Amino acid sequence: MKKSYQDDPQKQEASRQRHFNIRLNVFFFSAFVIFTVIIVRLAILQFVDGPSLEAEESSQTVKKVPLTPIRGSILDATGVKLAYSEPEQSLYITLLKDYSSTTGMSNRPEAVKLAQKIVDVFNKYGEAKDKTTADEIIDAMDLDSKLSSGFAPRRLKEGLTDKEVAYFMEHKTEFPGVDVIEESVRKYDTDTVAVQAIGYIKKFKGASTSLDKYKELRNLVSDDPGEQYTDNEDVGFDGLEYEYQDELRGKNGYKSIPVDPRNMADGVAEITPPEKGDDLHLNINKNIQLKTEQAIMDQLDWLHTHPVSGKYHPNAQTGFAVAMEVDTGKVVAMASMPDYDPNVWSSGGISPSDYEAIQNVYLNGTIRSFQSGQSGVHPESVVLMGSTIKPLSVMIGLNEGLFTTSTSYNDTGVAYFGKNNSASVHNSQGHAYGYLSSPADAIRHSSNTFMVDMVGEKLWKKLGDDGITLWDKYMKEFGLGVLTGVDLPNEYKGYREYVNEKETSLSRLAYASFGQQGKYTTMQLAQYAGMLATRGKRMQPQLVDKITDSNGNVVKQFTPKVLNQVTFKDSYWNEILEGMATDVHEAFDGFPYDFARKTGTSTQTIYGNGQKVDVDNGVFIAFAPRENPKLAVAVVIPEGGFGAYSAAPVARKIFDAYDYEYGLDGVPKKTLQTQTQTTTDATAQDNSQSGNN
């Protein structure tokens, strides 16, 4: 029988080997072909399609250009806007072609033609005073990108009229790259309310060259475009505008712009709108503030036309006042006069002529020291505190055991001290007050001689040179020579003349005892007066009551803060407060409350330009009512003469204004006036109806 082929094992093995070899060869050939195709494709991508793909990929890069945020408002205690931002329409252009002088000159004629078209619209529909030229528009376009990157929008005009806006919106296709963008411009209450406290704004570009805060922000690198500052952005430069810059600023919006490899815009931009900043709600009451400001200006005029102690005071050109609630530290009025219209800063800058007009009034004289601007030799805004130191001087004497509350003193009108009594101090106008039954009498009569004999000289005899150290300790505990903590920038600590070692420690203590060795700000004096009212609590002055977001939600509520507290015997407090009863009947005639007060007349020697001039500055501190005090006030009138006649009348008007708005007894007098008027009107109406019947 014939054997089957399939049954031959050797032939089967040979057949399998051939098939395997064929498959293996096919695999290697296929792999070779595939790898060859891949290599060829990579070569094509690298050398043929590479440049175009790279350009395509670059054209998809998106740049985020910040849009200026909307600044929050600053409102007074009643909700009146003292600083606010108003919307304004501006015209911007984003360059869609290369117009540079190096590679884009062939496109320049298009830019020139576009500029002329824009100018024609401005001249036809804009304000007559805003006439411009094509060359000015070309400059604003920044065709060579010297000021901005190619993709960055350039501002061509701010403050467009409604007609200009309408035209550009309706003819958008005729103006490629041109957009109408809503911005905001800073405005201030035209009644000029506490303008130095509110502060002012400048452009970030300028501010970042002079203020450390903005220098750091310029160097800050952030991935969030909302945090980036732009050169044209308005930033706070002084006052509350600066102190609360972070809260007021808000957050940038941004324009997402696709750009090509040339850094030029390439595509449709998307806009993320900016976020409005938070609002500041102040403790300053506009009505009280305006009455304070007017009271100072009226008093300055009065001093120019009415003799005080036999002479006029024509050099009294400035005045400063602060009113602060004693329990809370809330500052309800802060006036540095004369003031000015801060809208001169609203564009983020100021003209040389405008600056010249305000250079001696734009700083806040209640917390800083600067010259009045008068020619010749005159004191600065911070002066010696004079006799207003005497309540504290007596407190030091009592607490150090230099005398007691029952110690009497014979005032002869002059006090001698130093080696062989070579130095002497007289009372004001040479008055000799005779027998003073107590330290309170010495305060009431404002006896310089008591302070020298019983405080200054005795403290020196007890402690020697260490008496200066002790005096300094007391001054600082009462906020004199240290910062008050008010929420404003660049506060001045004052000038402690008693640390000047050119004079003997005895001489320094003697003059310091009656207020001739320390110059302090009006804010420091108000805080000091409040500390006397609270019997030892030094409250932090607060201008801002709360911060709210754009929806009115409270972001932060400020609460009263005690900076430090001193403790003395009640009998000592009673003694010095009893002495705070200086005669100011002319200014406070008819005042319905008992109140504590101390006048001051700081005699100050001014040197300069080869001149030596002695001037009398008016100083006054007070709080009311004497029992359950509500408000502390400090007033300073440089070169105003006696404080009783120059500064006290201003304080009276401040107390009256506060009483009307809030009530020194807790009952606002405006409420009573309204109720009385309502009753009167109702009675008159009833009488009229009865007559008709």
Residue 355 has pLDDT above 50, yes or no: yes
pLDDT of residue 577: 97
Q: Which residue has the higher pLDDT, 599 or 232?
A: 599
Longest dimension (CA), the chain: 165
Identify the CA nearest to 332 among candidates 511, 231, 200, 193.
193
Residues written for the chain:
693
Poorest-pLDDT segment among 12-16, 30-34, 150-154, 308-312: 12-16
Q: Give the mean model confidence (pLDDT) for residues 275-284.
A: 95
Cβ atoms within 10 Å, residue 203 = 17
Residue 444: pLDDT band by 50, 70, 90 thresholds? Answer: very high
What is the CATH number that goes with domain 61-282?
Answer: 3.90.1310.10
**pLDDT of amino acid 8:** 67
Q: State the DSSP H helix or E strand holding residue 611, giving kind and residue range, or none if neither.
A: strand 611-624
Which pLDDT score is estimated for 339? 96
Determine the Cα–Cα distance for residues 161 and 171; give it in Å rounded to an integer: 16
Residue 39's pLDDT is what? Answer: 79
CB 336 within 8 A of CB 365: yes
Asked if pLDDT for residue 424 goes beyond 50, the answer is yes
373: left (phi over 0), alpha (psi -120 to 50) or beta: left
Q: Give me the pLDDT at residue 49, please.
A: 61
Q: Which of 25-34, 347-356, 534-543 has the lowest mean pLDDT?
A: 25-34
What is the distance between the alpha carbons of residues 513 and 508, in angstroms, rounded to a whole number? 8
Model pLDDT, residue 54: 58
pLDDT bucket at 114, cuts 50 / 70 / 90: very high
Highest mean pLDDT, choosing among 134-143, 291-300, 346-355: 291-300
Computed over every residue of the chain, the mean pLDDT equals 88
Stated pTM of the model: 0.83
pLDDT 10s digits, 55-104: 555 445 776 666 778 899 999 999 999 999 988 888 988 888 888 888 88
Q: What percent of the chain has pLDDT over 90?
A: 62
pLDDT-based confidence at 12, cuts 50/70/90?
Answer: low
| Phi/psi at 116 (5° precision) | -65, -40
Examine the pLDDT at 429 and tell me if it is beyond 70: yes
Q: Tokens 């409250």 appear where?
A: 539
Q: What is the pLDDT of residues 363-398, one digit of tens each?
A: 999 999 999 888 888 999 999 999 999 999 999 999
Q: What confidence tens digit (pLDDT) does each residue in 547-590 have?
A: 999 899 999 999 999 999 999 999 999 999 999 999 999 999 99
The average pLDDT across 51-58 equals: 54
Q: Where are the domains of the chain?
A: 61-282, 286-662, 664-693
pLDDT value, residue 5: 44
Q: Report the 10 Å Cβ neighbour count for 247.
A: 18
Is pLDDT larger for residue 317 or for residue 309?
317
Question: Which superfamily is assigned to 286-662 in CATH?
Answer: DD-peptidase/beta-lactamase superfamily (3.40.710.10)
pLDDT average, residue stretch 657-673: 93
Owner of token pair 């009280």:
288
Highest-confidence segment of 430-434, 451-455, 688-692: 451-455
pLDDT of 50 strictly over 70: no
d(CA 296, CA 320): 8
